[in-house]
Amino acid sequence: MIPAAAGPKTLPKAELHVHLEGTLQPAFALELAAREGRDVSAFLRDGAYRTGDFTQFLAVYDGAAVLLRREEDFERLAFDYLVSIAGMGALYAELLVSPDHGVASGLSAAAYLRAAARGMARAERRCGIVSRQIVVGVRHFGPEAVERAARIAVDPAFPFVTGFNLAGDERQGRAADFARAFDIAREAGLGLTAHAGELCGPASVRGTLDALKPERLGHGVRAAEDPDLVARLRGEGIVLEVCPGSNLALGICPDLASHPLKALVEAGVKATLASDDPPFFATDLATEYERAESLLPGRGLTFTRTAIEAAFVDEPTRRRLLDAMLARAMALGAPPAAG
Ligand code: ADE
Ligand code: ZN
């Protein structure tokens, strides 16, 4: 089914990289802060988050995330986000869910994942958008926490979970410290992706590919600093989940014109578009597609096709999503995206 919420003129989209807590809109955060009797003025003023550099961002993110205290908060968060991007033309999304954040909010990991799943199922019933959960281990919580997250991810009690990711502060620890967690996820058949090449450069990307063997990378954009590594990404067909607005907000690159997306795509690296933590970076999925359009005119549908081809879904679902994308593109009069 094609989401009914999006008009036919809306380019079909797909998003592989958005953190569930990172979708918390300031208005909802303020509502929760009032309910919980918390003062959030240190990081939320004039209806916007005050983020700064990555270290400051992480503190703001965690401060906002713990405002979510109840199962219904996570259900609403997932539902609202998916309905909002369906309205922008999204057919599919992968939500990065962090059991550690759920526990910090006072829930069990199971209650947290199930609450988000209820919101996701409801969003699909409401407007047709298909979604899956990618469990993240948080790197700066250490290898044991990441291994614990992997064991939760592989539990068949959570059918929305189809992938595993390493998030958090890339400057901490070595990729190899997390190899055991990735082995657990791989052996269970989960799709694998990891944040790398965001805060750190090519050595971090290489270490991640060697030690964790993911199919995709969260960000990965700093690989562009090393032509041999770019050739490796192309040769191995590694798919990048590129989040230009996040990179701009965190100062990973100074302006859009110098963002590596264009160089990477022109070098033959597979890339998709995503919003990471949209209200924290004053962005959304449609804005990311607009940014990419200004760098690489006419490629929007190819980003969507690449995302669906790299999505952590079963093959019948992938086929259904590709068919929906093509049907929508035909209605738009857009030429079919290159495969
Ligand atoms: N967690 C939430 N947003 C993140 C990002 N941009 N990088 C790493 N971990 C994150
Ligand atoms: Zn991320």
Nearest CA to ligand 1 atom 9: 168
Say if residues 166 and 139 touch (Cβ distance below 8 Å).
Answer: yes
Is residue 2 pLDDT above 70, yes or no?
no
Q: Residues 291-330: pLDDT tens digits? A: 999 999 999 999 999 999 999 999 999 999 999 999 999 9
Question: Taking the chain, what is the end-to-end CA distance rounded to the nearest angstrom?
Answer: 22
CA dist 91 and 328 (Å) reads 10
Cα 203 from chain centroid?
22
What percentage of the chain reaches a pLDDT higher than 70?
A: 96
In this structure, the residue with its CA closest to atom 7 of ligand 1 is 168
Task: Starting from the CA of residue 216, give the closest ligand.
Answer: 2
Residues 147, 198, 241, 288: which is the catalytic one?
A: 198
Say whether pLDDT at 333 is over 90. no
Helix H or strand E encompassing 220: none
Q: Decide: 55 and 134 in contact? Cβ < 8 Å.
A: no
Gap between the Cα atoms of 81 and 88, Å rounded: 11
Please determine, for residue 194, whether its predicted confidence score (pLDDT) is greater than 60. yes
Instruction: Note the Cα 227 to chain centre separation in Å.
Output: 26
**pLDDT tens digit string along 29-54?**
999 999 999 999 999 999 999 999 99
CA-closest candidate to residue 195, choices 160, 149, 164: 164
Q: Which helix (H) or strand (E) holds 74?
A: helix 71-86
| Residue recorded with tokens 């908060």 | 73
Distance 174 CA to ligand 1 centre (A): 17
What sign results for the dihedral spanned by CA atoms 274, 338, 191, 220?
negative
Q: How far apart are CA 83 and CA 328, in angstroms?
A: 18
Statement: residue 161 has pLDDT above 50: yes
Q: Find the 242 Cα to ligand 2 centroid distance in Å.
A: 9
pLDDT band at 8 (very low <50, low <70, confident <90, very high): very low
The topology under which CATH files domain 4-332 is TIM Barrel (3.20.20)
Band (338; pLDDT cuts 50, 70, 90): low
Residue ranges lining ligand 1, Cβ < 6 Å: 19, 22, 61, 167-168, 195, 198, 246, 276-277
Q: Distance from the CA of 136 to the center of ligand 2, in angstroms?
A: 9
Q: How far apart are CA 68 and CA 80, in angstroms?
A: 14
Mutate to test the pocket of ligand 1, among 169, 198, 222, 252 (most ligand atoms within 8 A of CB): 198
User: Which residue CA neighbors atom 2 of ligand 1 most closely?
Assistant: 19
The torsion defined by the Cα of 286, 288, 294 and 296, in degrees rounded to 10, comes to -110
Ligand 1 atom at shortest distance from the alpha carbon of 167: 9
When pLDDT is cut at 50, 70 and 90, the band that residue 66 belongs to is very high
Residue 10: predicted pLDDT = 87
- Is 199's pLDDT higher than 70? yes
In the chain, where the domains are located = 4-332
- Rounded to the nearest angstrom, the distance between the alpha carbon of 22 and the centre of ligand 2 is 9
- State the DSSP code for 288: H
Does the annotation count 198 as an active-site position? yes
> In 3-state terms, what secondary structure has residue 54?
helix
* Rounded Cα distance, 201 and 215, in Å: 19
Residue 336 pLDDT: 64
- Give the closest residue (by CA) to ligand 1 atom 8: 168
Query: What is the predicted pLDDT for the residue at 9?
Result: 57
| Mutational test site, ligand 1, from 277, 283, 288, max ligand atoms within 8 Å of CB | 277
- Tens digit of pLDDT for each residue in 227-279? 999 999 999 999 999 999 999 999 999 999 999 999 999 999 999 999 999 99
* pLDDT band of 3, cuts 50, 70, 90: very low
To the question of pTM greater than 0.75 for the whole model, the response is: yes
- Of ligand 1's atoms, which has the minimum distance to the CA of residue 61? 2
**209, pLDDT greater than 50:** yes
CB 157 within 8 A of CB 110: yes
Mutate to test the pocket of ligand 1, among 15, 17, 18, 19 (most ligand atoms within 8 A of CB): 19
Return the residue whose CA atom lies nearest to atom 1 of ligand 1: 168
Mean predicted lDDT score pLDDT of the chain: 96
Q: Give the rounded percent of residues in the chain with a pLDDT score beyond 90.
A: 95
Q: Give the Cα separation of 183 and 297 in Å (integer).
A: 39
Return the pLDDT at 6.
Answer: 46
